[in-house]
Structure 1
């Protein structure tokens, strides 16, 4: 495995780094100020975001996540890794470059499985950053870590499908630009366990779609993006809104979640790097008990452990990316599962050390650490909890000796 980057990737990395330094980091506080604390948080998008998106698009730093050269930058997973890591250093950055979840996963689904009509109606506006989308799979009444538990129904009625169910943690649903949801539900409860589910495109302005509430994460509402609880009551959509066909929902989910999981891990490495950077800068500026914090033995251990853990996670992530590129997501499923366990836990440890080193400042909104910690903690659950991934890794390991 060769993890050296091509001249194309190095050039993109340099340009992306320059853009982050010049425009993203200086505008993080501007974004929060423009967002404000009022109800407008859910009805208006901070103008600075649209300004930065236009600038990123004009500079060719746009849709970098898509390996398809027709729609994206044509980068492999390995090539995208250092770029995604840079974006992960700021919670607002992925949207600036149109590389934000869940839109990335939804765009990949439409590229892979969408009809020409579906691409024209939904993919193109998403690629252009004109609309946003959400992914409605998780349900409040069942253990959604097992996707076969999904109870929402998608039933054919003539030339339409009728959708009934309740979903939650539909990230992005609160955004006024969110126009469509990819909904997972059962079309045939009597079919094989992994062929009962289907995915369907549901415009959010369809009669019967109701956003019940937005769910905060450790007190962060993540407006205007948010995480919605949505009810679908006798929602009717044309039959051509089904993705790939009935019974293909589980297969699409597996195809969608592989790249999504590795992108989360890449961004978490960036978050950890920024946390370590904040730690190292801070401890050299603060004195306690007669000497700089940086000379305290325990602080140096934190720094050393953090560097070791970041490098380990990065190497495992790059290995998974390399395997996805060379032998495919299915063969790389153990590596994808491993990084999904390793990266969030690593980021949480590194960010927590930085918070501890910064003291009261670390839990404030003056630094990005508290928000990044909350985000990293949710990623031990999102796209499958640690326990599910560990179970899969264990099964695959045991198969080697049967």
Structure 2
């Protein structure tokens, strides 16, 4: 573990000079002492990792055993000419460490998933990571079982998971709640993206200039996916109901929706959900609440980015967009900023969801709390 800092060093003061002027020494100290685990390293995770590393989060650990040669196109941290024989996590760690030599970048063994939490059958335990500054790689083969993943999460303050199926997000959120850890989970699917935040039942924070502590309460992912639909109205971002429809599909089929064959069923779930809202009492109102094009695009683009998607499933999709770099940049910046707020306990963080799509709400990001 990095030592608790009584004072910042001259190097810290030089590198973080602008930040120190904005949020002060105490907040920067909390960032340096924070430990963040990132699971899954696509384009969205790369943006988040870059931003929190440059801000000075003291320990950033990466989990993604995918071969660097198969890295997601949006992961700009992987440099092809220098990544031969490396995993995505190893290649990304080298780039991140070069961005900020003052922090510790670790590599933890494991696949970019939380699937071990859905089944009692797991892989071989992963080895422990060291606390030395610089990219560190645990040396045990295989990926984590459910118990190994529990042990891994327990060593960090905050977990950032990108690109996971919704059922895995729910299972990982359950684990983080049990261990008292913060969770940020998100995904970019073409023109649309979401981020879910759970900082526990009671998150305490302060606002600059106000010494009084404030409290934000959070619901679990499962609770938010089952929230009373009477709270949904025409101002609710349509991506929320789209996620609810995809969640119901996963609950019914134990797999994510992806590809043309699943679009109709997800749309049927979406129509049933919208008809149960106070505002969805007519066909026109239902289309306003959740446009069919948004649902279709979200499902089809899911086939392009979902881990383990069958090649024919991806090819059948009508020109799936995958992770669009501009969307990753917008949402990655918003998530990273709120990771910094969460670990520093300074300023109010997002509650529940951040929804973004340039197909809805004029391309504005919207916070939704249920």
Q: TM-score, with normalisation over the residues of structure 1?
A: 0.24
Q: Which has the higher helix share?
A: 1
**1 or 2 for the larger relative contact order (CA 8 Å, sep ≥6)?**
2
Q: TM-score, with normalisation over the residues of structure 2?
A: 0.26
